[in-house]
Structure 1
Amino acid sequence: MSNSLLTFQRLLQPPQLVFCLFLLLLARFTLFFVSYLKARRQFPGPPVSSMWFGNLSETMSDDIHDKWRAWHRKYGPIYQTWNSIFSRVIYVGDPRVVSKIANSNWPKIPTQYSGFKPLSGSALFAQMDQERWKQQRKGLAPAFQPQTVNEQYPTLQKYLMKFIEEIDGAAKHGSLIDFSTLDVLLTLDFVGEVAFGTELNAIRDGENCRILQIFHDVLPELMKCGLFPLRAKIPIMKSTRLMHRGIKELRELAYIAVQSARASDDETKPESGTGSRRIFEILALQRGADGGYLFSAKELVDNYGGDPTAHAITFAIYEILKKPDVLTKLQAELDTLLPHDCEVPTIEQVSRLRYLNFIIKETLRYNGPGFGTFRYTPRNVEINGYKLPANTTLALWNPQVHRDPNLWGPDADEFSPDRWYTKDGQTAVEGPRFIPIPGSYFPFSYGPRKCLGEGLAMLEMSLTLATLFKRYDLTLQERFNMEFLPSFTLCSKNGLPVKARLRV
């Protein structure tokens, strides 16, 4: 027997085999550790607080949105954090790079969006299959055309009347109103009817509204699962288990709504995109070339995961009330352009409210509820001098970009609707409208995956704020300061207590 064969046989003996496997594992670990150390040096970023869990304790904190901004200013527009020794996130805050990645429609990273899947499934914003995304987007688009959005006005008007009934009652008794809750109840009623064909009676039920309670259990935990996807897959935490139970209940309610709409389907109804049907009817009853429904029930349920519009309305109210000059200008515009006896303005009337539009745009810049999008590239790519690694989470995140002094000037941390008047930042009411540079302003995401619901959200915000500030004088509770919480979207942690008084 040859010496080489004898040597091989010895290696197959248990002790030698174990030793060889140990050497292989050691070599693999050494290569991994070297690549990890190299990656740690690739971009600047905050020091890790744990060898194994990186910056996870910081990214799970309630003030992470403030940390994103501080890190951006300290480490530059491209910086990185670590969720563990195996997972890093590169935050992309250079508008040129944001624009190129978003406009080129780089794929969303499956590992990161798996944390959102319990609620969002294969919704449009979380769809990983590019071809299916194109089909979904094409199918959803008719329901969000301007004409269709405007046809939802009667529904929004109906719930705004219920909204002001609640405020009138509180004003009569001089009691505080928590607008952070009331705004959510308003949008739940509105979206429940136009998006699911269901009357939720949210304003009527107030804090006892079951959907509101489910969202309180689901959305803050879902944000943490998005940042650390393993949390959703291994529900050790009680809050994670509550989230899963809440999502199951929410989905069951949504499936009932889909089945109800399709049970009453009538071939004589107008084609999708025509008539004055609710958005939900257009989507639920839309058929493909084969005669079957274009969207499965699961896809329709996936595509509703909460409405951040309510939080944008809350933030706008808060900032307006903190700035007496902004409040004065807004009410002067409302008094000039809306009839004295106006309760809920028409769409044509709010379209002429230029300063209100600037307030909304500034709210979405200053404290927009949406954070951005996760992307990746399957290969190493260089953009504008930055070498972006393959298969790594890229966060095109707007909280820090929207407050970057290099993009917005030295007053970037100030709420100033006037900045939208002119390009040079000078206040000139009749001057040209300010247009941010590409990639520096993306409250509804950016590029081909920009949110289809932008028009509907802007209509909700415009009509609600115009109705509110035309009808009432509002004052914040004394010494109130809002605390912000990064839930699935940014929201108020401590509500928004306000007193209302009917204007004379």
Structure 2
Amino acid sequence: MSTLDSQTARAVSVPREVLIVCGGHLAILVLWWMKQYWTARVQFPGPPVKNAWIGNLDQTMMPDIHDKWRRWHRQYGPIYQTWNSLVSRVIYIGDPAIIHAIGSENWDKASSQYEGFRCLSGDALFMPKAHAKWLRQRKSLSPAFGPQVIRMQQATLHKYITDFTHQIATAADQQHSVDLSMLHVLLTLDFVGEIAFGSELRALATGPECRIVQLFQKILPELMKCGLFPLRSKVPIFQATREMHGAIQELRQMAEDAVLAAREADVAEGSKEKPPRQIFEILVRQKEANGAYTFNTKDLVDNYVTFLVAGGDPTAHTLSFAVYEVLRNPKIHARLVHELREALPRLDGIPSAEHISKLPYLNAVIKETLRYNGPGFGTFRTCPRDTEVCGVVLPAKTTLVLWNPQVHRDPQIWGPDADVFDPSRWLEPGFRPLPGSYFPFSHGPRVCLGQGLAMFEISLTLATLFRQFDLSLPAGFEMEFDPAFTLCPKNGLPVFATRRQT
């Protein structure tokens, strides 16, 4: 060995005593972690882990995870856990009392879990943030989703429902089936795209080849996987993840173009003489007392893309699930059509907000759809320290999942007919779900801001559809479900339609 090599070897050598101490500290750390790991395993039951490095990802990343959530809830109890890796644990909360406490007290959202969604929504309202910042943004956004503003969107909704029913009527005249699942997606994209995204997407006019539909197909299935496993988004080794990022960039650019165009219109001469009516206009023009805009461009882009995704995808699938369940149940179908005939004598008209308020059974059908197969799953929360709620100690800095698919079908809550689609349960005298047992739009102060708008769109669409057409499913058709970003029909919703004569 050369003199230089000898000197280098002596320079980098580590005393044996230091190695022993470091090794001891490492061993203690490993033993401590193993104790924490196994203590956690004993604390809450859950599906077995076959590979400690990937936890339960071999099960939770599969297409049947929606069914697994319900099965695990009944098998392991209302509180169970899964693992995303060697050190990342997820605890599913299915006890209504605990859900109500966490939701109403507005526990912090689990930041690490929502990192998987940040590539799409940035710092939008539903993302984790300091309470003061969240409250300030919530108060600024709320006026655009008030009841009066929602009613002002009626003309726009009527326009697109007319286009929607025209396509069904054309298929009826040609005696062809029509995929209502796709039409529902196109309808909701057109409506939300115009009023809350600021763009005429022409989805119904273009059909499935519409660019926005293609973007959604690249974004939504992969986005849910990134939500369950955020590292997937940050280290995009999969082709699907890279395609998702590219589609998101294009979608956000569309939103930015819409914002800039609306801002230019706002400063143009005479633009202020026309009061804003649509949601995106209200938010773009909103100003503080000093005359500065309330929202900067990034704030609006973050929330616009979120409105489009959250307002389009779940609403469309709720419509499809409602139609499917009604058509599978002849008695429910007959009762709904009878109510619509009594309340809506005109065949060719689209109901108004006043009409909808007089359709209790339709409202019950929608509520039951959101219970039975609601498209939204829930919310991720956490707490800074070990916290006891209703006798259960929830561990600090662990992802807590307030998930509704299993809670909405729990026989201990809804009775032995929990797995039966029965809208009449909502019309029973004195019926009221336990707090925390029914939360299709989340629960507590963070309840979905667009809930009223979604219910308005669903109600008018279903009332028009079942009033104007007699619908039927193809013989033997069974819907398959896909838990992508939201629960959606995997094999569409083909129906045959005929125009009603009375």
Equivalent residue number for residue 420 of structure 1: 426
Equivalent residue number for residue 387 of structure 1: 393
Selected match of 2:340 from 334, 344, 353: 334
Q: CA deviation at 1:275?
A: 5.0
Does residue 409 in structure 1 map to residue 415 in structure 2? yes
Equivalent residue number for residue 91 of structure 1: 92
Q: Residues 463 and 348 from structure 1, CA distance in 2 versus in 1: closer, same or farther, beyond 3 angstroms?
A: same
Equivalent residue number for residue 478 of structure 1: 475
> 1:420 & 1:341 partners in 2: Cα distance?
27
Please list the CA deviations of residues 450-485 of structure 1 after superposition, one character each: whole Å capped at 9, or x if unmatched: 001010000000000001000001111221111111
Equivalent residue number for residue 249 of structure 1: 250
Give the share of equivalent positions with the same residue, in percent. Answer: 56
Q: CA deviation at 1:175?
A: 1.3
Tell me if the contact between 2:266 and 2:272 (Cα under 8 Å) persists in the aligned partners: no
Equivalent residue number for residue 320 of structure 1: 326
Please list the CA deviations of residues 383-427 of structure 1 after superposition, one character each: whole Å capped at 9, or x if unmatched: 1110000000000110011000011110000110011111xxxxx
Alignment of 1:440-455 (within 5 A): 440-455=437-452
Amino acid at match of 2:333: L
Does residue 367 in structure 1 map to residue 373 in structure 2? yes
Tell me if the contact between 2:347 and 2:467 (Cα under 8 Å) persists in the aligned partners: no
Equivalent residue number for residue 402 of structure 2: 396
TM-score normalised according to structure 1 size: 0.93
Amino acid at match of 2:163: K
- Which structure shows the higher helix fraction? 2
Equivalent residue number for residue 177 of structure 2: 176
Q: CA deviation at 1:434?
A: 2.0
Q: CA deviation at 1:22?
A: 2.6
Tell me if the contact between 1:99 and 1:438 (Cα under 8 Å) persists in the aligned partners: yes
Gaps of 5+ in 2: 1-11
Equivalent residue number for residue 345 of structure 1: 351
Tell me if the contact between 2:108 and 2:128 (Cα under 8 Å) persists in the aligned partners: no
Equivalent residue number for residue 77 of structure 2: 76
Equivalent residue number for residue 294 of structure 1: 294
> 1:381 & 1:150 partners in 2: Cα distance?
43
Q: CA deviation at 1:123?
A: 1.1
> 2:177 & 2:17 partners in 1: Cα distance?
77
Selected match of 2:360 from 349, 354, 369: 354
Q: Residues 220 and 78 from structure 1, CA distance in 2 versus in 1: closer, same or farther, beyond 3 angstroms?
A: same
Amino acid at match of 1:153: Q
> 2:189 & 2:381 partners in 1: Cα distance?
30
Moved more, 313-322 or 292-301: 292-301
**What SS is found at the alignment partner of 1:289?**
coil
> 2:433 & 2:139 partners in 1: Cα distance?
28
Equivalent residue number for residue 48 of structure 2: 47
**What SS is found at the alignment partner of 2:91?**
strand
Q: Residues 413 and 331 from structure 1, CA distance in 2 versus in 1: closer, same or farther, beyond 3 angstroms?
A: same
Amino acid at match of 2:181: S
- Number of residue pairs the alignment of both structures matches: 485
> 1:445 & 1:132 partners in 2: Cα distance?
20
Q: CA deviation at 1:50?
A: 1.5
Amino acid at match of 2:447: K
Alignment of 1:96-245 (within 5 A): 96-245=97-246
Amino acid at match of 1:142: P
Tell me if the contact between 1:148 and 1:276 (Cα under 8 Å) persists in the aligned partners: no
Q: CA deviation at 1:12?
A: 8.2
Q: CA deviation at 1:85?
A: 1.4
Tell me if the contact between 1:420 and 1:433 (Cα under 8 Å) persists in the aligned partners: no
> 1:51 & 1:169 partners in 2: Cα distance?
56
Equivalent residue number for residue 6 of structure 2: none
Tell me if the contact between 1:331 and 1:470 (Cα under 8 Å) persists in the aligned partners: yes
Tell me if the contact between 2:94 and 2:403 (Cα under 8 Å) persists in the aligned partners: yes
TM-score normalised according to structure 2 size: 0.94
Please list the CA deviations of residues 111-134 of structure 1 after superposition, one character each: whole Å capped at 9, or x if unmatched: 011011111111111132221111
Gaps of 5+ in 1: 1-10, 423-431
Q: Residues 449 and 107 from structure 1, CA distance in 2 versus in 1: closer, same or farther, beyond 3 angstroms?
A: same
> 2:227 & 2:110 partners in 1: Cα distance?
11
Equivalent residue number for residue 425 of structure 1: none
Equivalent residue number for residue 260 of structure 1: 261
Q: CA deviation at 1:288?
A: 1.7
> 1:131 & 1:100 partners in 2: Cα distance?
20
Equivalent residue number for residue 428 of structure 1: none
Moved more, 16-25 or 362-371: 16-25
Amino acid at match of 2:446: R
Q: CA deviation at 1:270?
A: 6.5
Amino acid at match of 1:352: K
Moved more, 471-480 or 295-304: 295-304
Please list the CA deviations of residues 262-316 of structure 1 after superposition, one character each: whole Å capped at 9, or x if unmatched: 0100586669xx9561011001111123322111222222223312111100110
Q: CA deviation at 1:14?
A: 4.2
Alignment of 1:55-66 (within 5 A): 55-66=56-67
Q: CA deviation at 1:61?
A: 0.9
